[in-house]
Amino acid sequence: MFADDSTAFVIKVDSITLHIQKALKQLNSWARLNCMSIHPIKTEITFISKSPFIGPILPITLDNHVINCTTQSSILGVTLDNKLCWILHIKSITANFNAKLNKLKQIKSFDLSTLESEAQLGARGQVK
């Protein structure tokens, strides 16, 4: 059994890597006690802060695998960056919507005028 989409966070800034390492060790112990495992390669760390994190970042490990530090992450379909900005999420949703819209345009029996008017209403935030 796997524990998907689990999120652990630490608020303390001083010696943050030690706190994260401790939290990961506790989370891993809890998972094993409950017959689950945490996939160390899929695990990633994002330091969320308004100002950039200054200082050396000690390697954080899980089962002897170094955890990758990222500036953005996707959690349950929501894309978050290290400044909690919505731009990446909105770009992702827009790209997904446009890809689906283009697939609908490829259907020959689909009325393009209806599709274009619905897309214009959606872009203006209007709902029928």
Number of domains in the chain: 2
Same domain flag for 68 and 93: no
Same domain flag for 21 and 64: yes
Please identify which residue in the block is written with the tokens 């652990």: 8
SS3 62: strand
Structure tokens at 110: 């689909």
Q: What is the pLDDT of residue 122?
A: 59
Tell me the H-state helices in 1-128: 16-33, 87-105, 112-123
Range of the domain at 29: 16-74
Q: What is the pLDDT of residue 34?
A: 94
Residues in the chain: 128
Same domain flag for 65 and 22: yes
pLDDT per residue of the chain (128 residues) written in tens, 0 to 9: 455 666 666 655 557 888 888 999 999 999 999 999 888 888 888 888 777 766 667 888 888 899 988 888 888 888 888 888 889 899 989 999 989 888 887 877 767 676 667 666 655 555 44
Q: What is the pLDDT of residue 1?
A: 47
Same domain flag for 102 and 58: no
Nearest Cα residue to 41 out of 11, 64, 16: 64
Is residue 8 included in any domain, yes or no? no
